[in-house]
Amino acid sequence: MNLARLLLAFGLVGILGGCALGGPPAWEQEAPPIRTGPVVDETRLHRGELSNGLTLLVFEDARLPLVTAGLTFRRGAGIESRDEAGVAGFMAELLTRGAGERTALELAEVVDSLGATLEAGAGWDTTSVQVAGLSRDLDSLFGLLGDAVLRPRFEASEAEKVRGELLAALEKARDEPRELARRAFAKALYPDHRYGLPQSGTPEVVAALGPDDAAAFHRRVFTPGNAILFAAGSAGYAEIEERAEAVFGAWEAGPIPEPAPAPPALAPAERRIVVVDRPDLGQAQIVIGHEGIGRTDPERLAAGLMVRVLGSSGFTSRLMGRVRAQEGLTYSIYAYLSMRRHPGPFGVSTFTRVAEVGRVVEIVLEELARMRDEPMTDAELDAVRRLSAGGFVLGLETSADVTGALVDLAAYGLPPDSLDTFRSRVSEIDLEQVTEAARRVLHPDRAAVVVVGPAEVLRPQLEPHGPVEVIQP
Amino acid sequence: MRRATRLAIVFLVACTVCGSANAESYDDPAARTRLTEFENGLRVLTLVDRTSPIVSFQSWVDVGSGDEGRFTGLAHLFEHMMFRGTENVPGDLRDRLLRERGSRGNAFTSNDFTVYFEDVSAEHLPLVIELEADRLANLIISPEVLDTERQVVLEERRFRTEDNPQGRLVEALLALSFVAHPYRRPTVGWMSDVEQVQVEQCVEFFDEYYVPGNIVVSIAGDFDEEATLGLLRRHLGRLPAAPKPARNPTLEPPQQGERRAQAHASVRGPLLGAAWHAPASGHADAEPLDLLSAILSAGFSSRLNRRLVYEEQEALYAYGGYWELKRAGLFYAAAGVRPGHSIERVEALIYEEIARLANEPPTPAELDRAKRQLEVALVSGLGTNHALASRNAEELLTFGRIRSLDERLQAFAAVTAEDVSRVARTYLTPEGRSVVHVVPAPEETP
């Protein structure tokens, strides 16, 4: 056998081997069409309402003998005035520091002895209290939930402790360059609105908070008509309804607080460049952006897809491709829309070695302009629709995921079937809609540029983009 | 000539009858896990669970920073290179193909392992498998891409360590605790090593560690087990067998006295870390040490939180725990000191709480509470396909088998209050500890 025949023979083996593997490699095959249709198993989902207006939402999941239950109220830190910034979080923290017949430590010992968790917290638009533990402890868990929601003690000694903790945490947060960047960015966008202050409040306000402030916020927000009671896990609807009725049935209805006024439409109205001076840093934190859109904005899906292509689709986003994969200027860069009741920020967040800050800012502003001025390609749109629709079920794997998403819809008054329709709505977004969303949402000409790092080195790099304000951390 | 592939199929975890009166018996999904070993040594763990229509696909490579030789950070830098393209699937095509199918993937490197994962809808599993086989067979390591990725990793290091007080604390504490063992090296590597490593070292590293016998593929979720094993056999079963890699031989000698260090950072709230040598994974004292961790740190009423954060208001957080690795372990305590408060006082309070447990066993109620907390944590850890696949792979690589939930709960149930005191006395000694303070430089008051 000569060499050519030998090679041919091997080649044939290779080809036959290839055939045996079932045709061309999977990566040469077209992606199947986007799957649409319902994602929430209706047979496991139950909704109801108590006579006092409390909404019930129960998703059964027998996979594990666990249950999570809680209440979400449709108001949070967003309704605080700037003079009250921090009271929602302060109140929420105090809910677990003594309730019903138990002091803070007694309550904690009961929770811990069940291996359970009892948590409360305030976001911009909601305040939530939640318990989680073994489903065989359902009665005890509901008892703890009822105490925290209906019978918090708001004792002066606990208020003093919590105040001290929050103040120390606010102070400590200033050690984190990323947190400094976030704060300076919010302040640059919303100098006179609540959104311009940290969600957890300001030291000036928190230092003056007392138990009466917590009790007043509690009265204002914690009413049954303003709440959604949710449960997820190994418990049937009847079991939950019975306990909800027993614990929350006699709770008296009250008025629902008004939402807060919206921030200015343009934030900022013109370019601002702010450097938070940290001479010790070798790597600068950068946030670039301006106002975004609200949670119920009719164009949120198109805007969301556009932002994904820009900087929120993992390694395939334009920003990640250029700043990380091509130029090695960062480890992480992403774009986001903070969708709240009113438009929260749109931002691009990243970091780089201080010598490269000017370059990174330039690239980000260029990419914002490119997304705004040149339409996305069909291929980009197709890919991001697939990413968004295809990955959707991954975020709904557990019953707690499904319940969380349904509660969020209810909190913002969005259609209750939004999860089931999401994939078909996404697959219908067209090029015109994303192009329009880019024009409407992105404003590189007036974007705020906030950098945390050594001002002396950063100033000359940033001055080409506008006047630079330097502030202390 | 093709030889028939030999499959070794073993059902890993027999459902054990629960013998303990006070522990509940759970339906442990791991009991349905199947281990298949291909002729080339690659092991596959499959666990079918149809609760949700998604699958977690994970490749666990039995190599971490603890295996590195001359260049620190190589395991992690190499992890980055695995995403940079092959001859068949160049550039970022792999990533684009997966994202277009909604897959959520990433990778991480630890002291012991390098782990790659894709969580994806079941119908896309064949693509994930073929892409994995392709990059294990045809990875390109070009000097140009290596140079870009090295810059990315240097940025990662600045982000996680250089400009991150918490990162500095961990790095300093490991370097202080281990004088000999390779666990003293930071997983991300030292700057100088990452700056200088070349293609040649990457290729050597790949050839030595990325061999079938050193890889476990773990899949959990809603998929056709037979068809998937067939695909895996065709694509990954063909990788050439190679010898198992050698391991660094160094063991940590006994510590002969307390070690202390400072790391300076611009912080208002100083950070404290302390560590003691503890056994590697698989030691009989692991459960008492886990319970000691829970008593010190789990929940609001745990001893460190109660004393340092709640009662004395000296710290913003305080916790401790048993950190078990394959070849050594540490027990650590960490605290964030309140701005304006004394780090020395925080350190003294932590030692007081440890001494209290060493001298006097925890109360029965406290021990029961800790056992319940560990039980709920174990059960909660079975909630996603990703968690199930991770648990299976990590258990197999660490213990050579998957310990059942019942086995673990019974081991916790058997621990006595005196066991908890004993491990505190045995391991958490003053002369065996290493302590790091992250504080502002003397001339600096932020």
Q: What is the DSSP string of A186-205?
A: HHHH-TTSGGGS-TT--HHH
Residue that has been written with the tokens 């045995």 in this structure = B426
Distance from CA of A344 to the nearest CA of B (A): 26
A307-333: burial string, b at 16+ Cβ within 10 Å, e else:
bbbbbbbbbbbbbbbbbbbebbbbbeb
The answer, for A280 touching chain B at a CB cutoff of 8 Å, is yes
* Structural domain contains residue B386: no
| Number of separate domains in chain A | 2
Same domain? For A239 and A278 the reply is no
Distance from CA of A52 to the nearest CA of B (A): 33
* Structural domain contains residue A259: no
Compute mean pLDDT per 10 residues along chain B, 446 residues long, and list them. Answer: 36 35 69 96 97 94 96 96 96 93 95 98 95 96 95 94 94 98 97 97 96 98 97 96 95 96 95 98 98 98 98 97 97 97 98 98 97 96 94 97 94 98 98 97 71
Query: Measured between beta carbons, which residues in chain B are less than 8 angstroms from residue A39?
Result: none
The answer, for B151 touching chain A at a CB cutoff of 8 Å, is yes
Whether residue A298 has pLDDT greater than 80: yes
Same domain? For A238 and A328 the reply is no
Can you count the helices (H) and strands (E) in chain B? Answer: 15, 12
- Is there a contact between A26 and B131 if contact means CB atoms under 8 Å apart? yes
Which tokens is B107 given?
């990778």
- Is there a contact between B269 and A172 if contact means CB atoms under 8 Å apart? yes
- Mean pLDDT, residues A31-59 taken together: 94
Distance from CA of B270 to the nearest CA of A (A): 9
Which tokens is A316 given?
């395939």
pTM assigned to the model: 0.92
Q: Which of B235, B270, B289 is the last residue of a domain?
A: B235
- The phi-psi region of residue B61 (left if phi > 0; otherwise alpha if psi is between -120 and 50; otherwise beta) is beta
The answer, for B126 touching chain A at a CB cutoff of 8 Å, is yes
Looking at residue B19, its pLDDT comes to: 34
CA proximity to B431, closest of B179, B283, B257 = B257
Report the SS3 class of residue B6: coil
Suggest the residue from A27, A319, A451 to mutate for an interface test with chain B (most B CBs closer than 10 A): A27
- Is there a contact between B373 and A115 if contact means CB atoms under 8 Å apart? yes
- For the purposes of burial, counting CB atoms within 10 Å of the CB of A279, is it exposed (0-12), middle (13-18) or buried (19 or more)? exposed
Same domain? For A168 and A83 the reply is yes
Distance from CA of B249 to the nearest CA of A (A): 33
DSSP A229-248: EEEEES--HHHHHHHHHHHH
Which range marks the domain in which residue A392 is found?
272-471
* Structural domain contains residue B228: yes
Sequence letter at residue A164? G
Same domain? For A345 and A424 the reply is yes
Looking at residue B446, its pLDDT comes to: 53
> CA of B22: how far to CAs of B19, B25, B363, B368, B371, in Å?
9, 10, 17, 10, 11
DSSP at B139: B
Same domain? For A212 and A277 the reply is no
Same domain? For B219 and B348 the reply is no
- Write phi, then psi, for B276 (nearest 5 degrees): -125, 150
Looking at residue B51, its pLDDT comes to: 86
- Mean pLDDT, residues A312-339 taken together: 94
* Structural domain contains residue B396: no
Q: Which of B83, B95, B376 is the closest to A134 by Cβ?
A: B376
- Is there a contact between A386 and B102 if contact means CB atoms under 8 Å apart? yes
Report the SS3 class of residue B221: strand
Same domain? For A199 and A133 the reply is yes
- Is there a contact between A27 and B88 if contact means CB atoms under 8 Å apart? yes
Same domain? For B158 and B64 the reply is yes
Q: Which of A61, A282, A382 is the closest to B163 by Cβ?
A: A282
- Is there a contact between A25 and B51 if contact means CB atoms under 8 Å apart? no
Contact B333, B436 (CB under 8 A): no
> CA of A441: how far to CAs of A10, A132, A310, in Å?
59, 39, 12
Question: Edge to edge, what strands does the sheet with A55-60 contain?
Answer: A45-49, A55-60, A227-233, A66-73, A127-134, A117-122
Distance from CA of A53 to the nearest CA of B (A): 32
In this prediction, what percent of chain A has a pLDDT beyond 90?
Answer: 90
pLDDT in tens, A255-278: 989 989 999 999 999 999 999 999
Contact A133, A69 (CB under 8 A): no
Looking at residue A375, its pLDDT comes to: 83
* Structural domain contains residue A441: yes
Out of A19-33, A239-253, A316-330, B81-95, least confident range:
A19-33
* Structural domain contains residue A257: no
Same domain? For A202 and A244 the reply is yes
pLDDT in tens, A148-167: 999 999 999 999 999 999 99
> CA of A266: how far to CAs of A189, A269, A294, A435, B178, in Å?
8, 5, 13, 20, 55
Query: Measured between beta carbons, which residues in chain A are less than 8 angstroms from residue B144?
Result: none
Q: Which of B99, B130, B384 is the closest to A397 by Cβ?
A: B384
* Structural domain contains residue A22: no
Same domain? For A207 and A299 the reply is no
The answer, for A66 touching chain B at a CB cutoff of 8 Å, is yes
Looking at residue A9, its pLDDT comes to: 36
- Mean pLDDT, residues A323-331 taken together: 94
Distance from CA of B165 to the nearest CA of A (A): 9
Contact A231, A45 (CB under 8 A): no
Q: Which of B235, B270, B288 is the last residue of a domain?
A: B235
Same domain? For B150 and B69 the reply is yes
- Write phi, then psi, for A152 (nearest 5 degrees): -65, 145
Contact A221, A73 (CB under 8 A): yes
CA proximity to B277, closest of B240, B330, B239 = B330
- For the purposes of burial, counting CB atoms within 10 Å of the CB of B127, is it exposed (0-12), middle (13-18) or buried (19 or more)? buried
* Structural domain contains residue B402: no
Kindly report the CATH number assigned to the domain that includes residue A178. Answer: 3.30.830.10
Looking at residue B7, its pLDDT comes to: 35
Whether residue A85 has pLDDT greater than 60: yes
Looking at residue A22, its pLDDT comes to: 59
* Structural domain contains residue B356: yes
Angle at A34 between CA A30 and CA A35, to 5 degrees: 130
| Number of separate domains in chain B | 2
Query: With the C-alpha atoms ordered B178, B182, B188, B191, is the resulting torsion angle positive or negative?
Result: positive
* Structural domain contains residue B398: no
Which range marks the domain in which residue B340 is found?
259-361+416-439
- Is there a contact between A115 and B155 if contact means CB atoms under 8 Å apart? no
Residue that has been written with the tokens 């660490």 in this structure = B398
The answer, for B401 touching chain A at a CB cutoff of 8 Å, is no
Kindly report the CATH number assigned to the domain that includes residue B145. Answer: 3.30.830.10
Query: With the C-alpha atoms ordered A363, A364, A365, A369, is the resulting torsion angle positive or negative?
Result: positive
The answer, for B372 touching chain A at a CB cutoff of 8 Å, is yes
Element (H, E) at B425: helix B417-427
Same domain? For A184 and A114 the reply is yes
- Is there a contact between B163 and A113 if contact means CB atoms under 8 Å apart? no
Same domain? For A292 and A237 the reply is no
Distance from CA of B223 to the nearest CA of A (A): 15
CA proximity to A201, closest of A219, A215, A213, A218 = A213
- Write phi, then psi, for B261 (nearest 5 degrees): -150, 160
Same domain? For A235 and A331 the reply is no
- For the purposes of burial, counting CB atoms within 10 Å of the CB of A235, is it exposed (0-12), middle (13-18) or buried (19 or more)? buried
> CA of B141: how far to CAs of A307, A334, B82, B144, B154, in Å?
32, 27, 9, 9, 18
Which tokens is A398 given?
């557990």
Which tokens is A346 given?
């749109």
Contact B75, B205 (CB under 8 A): yes
Same domain? For A283 and A242 the reply is no
Same domain? For B355 and B296 the reply is yes
